[in-house]
A and B are shown apart, each in its own frame.
Chain A
Amino acid sequence: MSLLPRVNLRRTFLIARRDYIGYVKTWGFWISFFLPFLFGGFGFFMSQAKLDLSPAQYVTVLDTTGEHEARLMDLHAERQDDRAQGVMSTKSFFIQDKDKRAEFQRVLRSEGTDAAQAYLKENVPGLRTEFEMPKEKFKFVDAPVSTLEELMPYLMGKKMLSIDGTPTELGGAVVFKKGESLAQPQTEYWSTNVSKVDVPNLLDIYLRRMARVTYLEAKGLTVAELDRRVDTAPEAVLFNPMKIDDVNQGVNSSDTVPFVVASVLAFFLWLGVFSGAYMLLTSMLEEKLNKLLEMMLATTRFSEIILGKLLGVAALTLSMMAPYIIVGIGGVVWYIFFGPDQDVVKGLVSAFDAKMIIFLIIYLILGYVLYGAFFIALGSLSSSMQDAQTLTTPILFVLMACLIVIPMGATDPDSPLLRIATFIPFSAPFAAIVRLPSDPPLWELLLSTAFLTLLCIGTIAMAGRIFRFGVLSGAGAEVVIAWFRRVVLRRKA
């Protein structure tokens, strides 16, 4: 007697095909399919339209001490420059030469954006050096009046400022009054918009800086010198004693990229399993409500219907995820051939090694079959969407809980919890994939696969029985509840 059920491939294919085409013909499928392109197009349109969805707020300063307004403006300009540096720093992504990239970052950090721009023009010809400054969240303007009382009508929108000839509302007013010392002025911020925290945050930083500046100056030191020393401080160099392919054993992007890739793959695996299993549930429910299964059973085996559904929905899930998969694979391939950072390229190549690809396929199949079989069983027991939701809630919680292991793989791949999760069949597909870059022992992976395979076989066998029962009866959640009462609670019917 064979352990595996007998199946007729033609009938299985026909059932899979009908399920696939049945879904592909729906609007929902095409909306999901084109969603990434729609979002991409929308994003592109928004970037081209340059719509000002969050216009800058106009803020004025009333400084009765005469000490702080200029300093606050300087801090604001400095922070704007920091933001510009952040944007400029992304240019390093396109510098292929490692040394030039490091030098560019040094120039940017110590000499500012103009110097960095000049460096690029001189040393990396062909690279666009222009960049767009991030939009300011607020702008300082001169106070139209000299006292807070006179400013109130502006703050309450009764009077308007004139900015380039256009009447503009005053968003807020910073008021500096004399305090205990120069470093501790009495500082107020007046605005009707209490939820916007950009100006209060700036004031907070300003006051802390003032405390530092006055302290350093009292000791005969300057903030500029302190900043220079901080900016030129050496960076810690990371080494990995297990790294045998590099004489220096230094850690770089090539070592961290596989962990990021594994986390992304595990997430896609989870997404595939989740959406596939959920589609199987609705497919089963549709099948029950259509009441065609019994007629098909005179022609096909139970196993062919289950396998056909699993295959049809698997193909459907892959089709729905195809845009993401194509973009993802395309991006990786593009970067491997044309990417500037050779460390990242090296990391990508090592992330997609044979072991990763083999185990990814194994875990994708087993994970999908495990959860799919559960959802088929529960779908065949349901006689309405409410039934399906009630019955699937526990397994959905389990599936959601498995998400925890994915970020853990990127930040803490040696975690004991992650190791335990590798042996629990429900979380094994995700935990094992995120652990792969840290090179877990092969026996652990094989044992995890064995546990998962055993549970898959058991689940399919049970799902087959439940499916057979569910199809031939009205079923519903009450059947499960009745069984629970009878068998678990030992209550008489």
Chain B
Amino acid sequence: MTNMTSPLALQSVSKSFAGKPAVTDVSFTIEPGQIVGFLGPNGAGKTTTLRMSLGLIKPDSGSVALFGKTPGDDAFGRIGFLPEERGLYKKQTAREAIAHMARLNGIKKKPAFALADDLLDRYGLGEAKRKKNKDMSKGMAQKVQLLAAIAHDPEFHILDEPFSGLDPVNQQILEGIVREIASRGRTIIFSTHVMEHAERLCDRIILMASGRKVFDGTTEEALAKAPRRVILASDSEDLIGLVSPFAADIETLANGELSLTLKPDAQAHDILERSVEQSLKLSKYEPIRATLHEAFVALVGPDMKQPAKVPETNAAEIFG
């Protein structure tokens, strides 16, 4: 039976390496059954946060609760973790790799191999069952590793950059796997810096930049932060003058059309109303749907240009 305690709760968590802050004062709680996108540019502190969530790294301050307890042995078997750095034992076959991880997660030998065969068949890798990992393509190997991470059907999936390195077809297959896991009521947090995946999959988004959480909310709330744009075209020379009161920014495109960024208090239909009032004939009126990427740029601003990359761990931690 699924435990309804929050799978993960971070409270004011901070971590520095050799005096350089990697994660600063990050708090969030993941609720059961959610698909959470953990977004941010490279070096934003996503991997460090996920490692702290699993107890692989201890935070300098703040607290982490995994299934309501300090990360550790109690969570073994309840988590499926796909790290950013991936690999497989080269001489193992696909089914051996999946069964090995399933067995480490407590499943007995025979059911583990049966499970591996079933998963490989289900996700189109049936022919690769007895293929050695070294003979598989990168995409296949990546899928095998994901299957190894989730074979034991954990309650909580932590996937660090699961889409990186995959071609568009395999990315779509992976999206399908994530949806399928979610449909069973499992909780998922995955990090990515490709916003489209988050946009399509997530109930909730957490944005990180320079080690800090800059946004935490639904996808719609995030999109609302994005600048709204309208593409306009008209034969009339009065178009710029007409739309200027509503525009935060106007850009003339190569084909002569105007790309207008609306002021925060302006609405796209205001332009349409004003055009009718002024009898200005518009040959093009196209409100542009905001993207998460635009929302992200708007939220993060200059930080995106200079990601604060710090080492994940430091020799000082070991040798003093």
Looking at the complex, which of A41-49, A161-169, A194-202, A296-304 is the stretch in contact with chain B? A296-304
Evaluate contact between A298 and B54: CB separation under 8 angstroms: yes
Evaluate contact between A300 and B104: CB separation under 8 angstroms: yes
CB of B127 within 8 Å of the partner chain? no
Evaluate contact between A290 and B312: CB separation under 8 angstroms: no
Residue in B51, B80, B90, B100 whose CB lies within 8 Å of A290: B90
A467 to B186, CA, bound (A): 32
Contact partners of A466 in chain B: CB under 8 A:
318
CB of B82 within 8 Å of the partner chain? yes
Contact partners of A300 in chain B: CB under 8 A:
76, 104
Q: List A residues 421-478 near B (Cβ within 8 Å).
A: 465-466, 468-469, 472-473
Q: How far is the CB of A129 from chain B (nearest CB, A)?
A: 56
CB of A487 within 8 Å of the partner chain? yes
What per-residue 1/0 map shows which CB atoms of B147-160 lie under 8 Å from chain A?
Answer: 01100000000100
CB of B91 within 8 Å of the partner chain? yes
Chain A residue, CB-CB nearest to B313: A473
CB of A491 within 8 Å of the partner chain? no
What per-residue 1/0 map shows which CB atoms of B63-89 lie under 8 Å from chain A?
Answer: 000000000010111011111011111
Q: List B residues 306-320 near A (Cβ within 8 Å).
A: 311-320
A26 to B132, CA, bound (A): 13
Chain B residue, CB-CB nearest to A296: B104
Evaluate contact between B87 and A291: CB separation under 8 angstroms: yes
A204 to B149, CA, bound (A): 78
What per-residue 1/0 map shows which CB atoms of A388-408 lie under 8 Å from chain B?
Answer: 000000000000000000000
CB of A292 within 8 Å of the partner chain? yes
Evaluate contact between A299 and B89: CB separation under 8 angstroms: no
Q: List B residues 275-320 near A (Cβ within 8 Å).
A: 311-320
CB of B94 within 8 Å of the partner chain? no
CB of B131 within 8 Å of the partner chain? no
Evaluate contact between A295 and B312: CB separation under 8 angstroms: no
Q: How far is the CB of A481 from chain B (nearest CB, A)?
A: 10
CB of B179 within 8 Å of the partner chain? no
CB of A100 within 8 Å of the partner chain? no
Chain B residue, CB-CB nearest to A487: B319
CB of A14 within 8 Å of the partner chain? yes
Q: How far is the CB of A435 from chain B (nearest CB, A)?
A: 36
Contact partners of B225 in chain A: CB under 8 A:
none
Residue in A6, A18, A473, A487 whose CB lies within 8 Å of B100: A18
CB of B103 within 8 Å of the partner chain? yes
CB of B57 within 8 Å of the partner chain? yes
CB of A294 within 8 Å of the partner chain? yes
A479 to B17, CA, bound (A): 14
Q: How far is the CB of A291 from chain B (nearest CB, A)?
A: 3
A487 to B314, CA, bound (A): 14
A300 to B145, CA, bound (A): 17
Evaluate contact between B56 and A479: CB separation under 8 angstroms: no
CB of B105 within 8 Å of the partner chain? yes
Contact partners of B318 in chain A: CB under 8 A:
465-466, 468-469, 483
What per-residue 1/0 map shows which CB atoms of B91-106 lie under 8 Å from chain A?
Answer: 1100000001101110
Evaluate contact between B89 and A290: CB separation under 8 angstroms: yes
Q: How far is the CB of B57 from chain A (nearest CB, A)?
A: 7
A465 to B105, CA, bound (A): 24
Q: Given A298-B54, A466-B318, do A472 and B79 touch, yes or no (CB 8 Å)?
A: no
A486 to B79, CA, bound (A): 39
CB of A289 within 8 Å of the partner chain? yes
Residue in B57, B86, B315, B317 whose CB lies within 8 Å of A482: B315
Q: Given A6-B73, A469-B317, do A14 and B311 touch, yes or no (CB 8 Å)?
A: no
Q: How far is the CB of A415 from chain B (nearest CB, A)?
A: 37
A299 to B313, CA, bound (A): 21
Which of B18, B100, B315 gathers the greatest number of chain A CB atoms within 10 Å? B315
Chain B residue, CB-CB nearest to A473: B313
A473 to B312, CA, bound (A): 6
CB of A419 within 8 Å of the partner chain? no
Contact partners of B83 in chain A: CB under 8 A:
291, 294-295
Contact partners of B317 in chain A: CB under 8 A:
465, 469
Which of A14, A295, A297, A469 gathers the greatest number of chain B CB atoms within 10 Å? A295
Evaluate contact between A473 and B311: CB separation under 8 angstroms: yes
Q: How far is the CB of A35 from chain B (nearest CB, A)?
A: 22
Q: List A residues 1-40 near B (Cβ within 8 Å).
A: 6, 11, 14-15, 18, 22, 25-26
Chain B residue, CB-CB nearest to A301: B73
A22 to B93, CA, bound (A): 11
* Besides A18-B92, A294-B81, A299-B105, 5 other A-B contacts (C-beta < 8 A): A14-B104, A294-B85, A295-B148, A300-B104, A472-B56
Residues of A within 8 A of B (CB): 6, 11, 14-15, 18, 22, 25-26, 289-292, 294-301, 465-466, 468-469, 472-473, 479-480, 482-483, 486-487, 493
Residues of B within 8 A of A (CB): 18, 51, 54, 56-57, 73, 75-77, 79-83, 85-92, 100-101, 103-105, 145, 148-149, 158, 311-320
16 sample A-B contacts, Cβ–Cβ < 8 Å, listed by A number: A22-B92, A290-B88, A294-B56, A294-B85, A295-B149, A296-B101, A297-B54, A298-B75, A298-B158, A299-B79, A299-B101, A465-B317, A473-B311, A482-B315, A483-B319, A486-B315
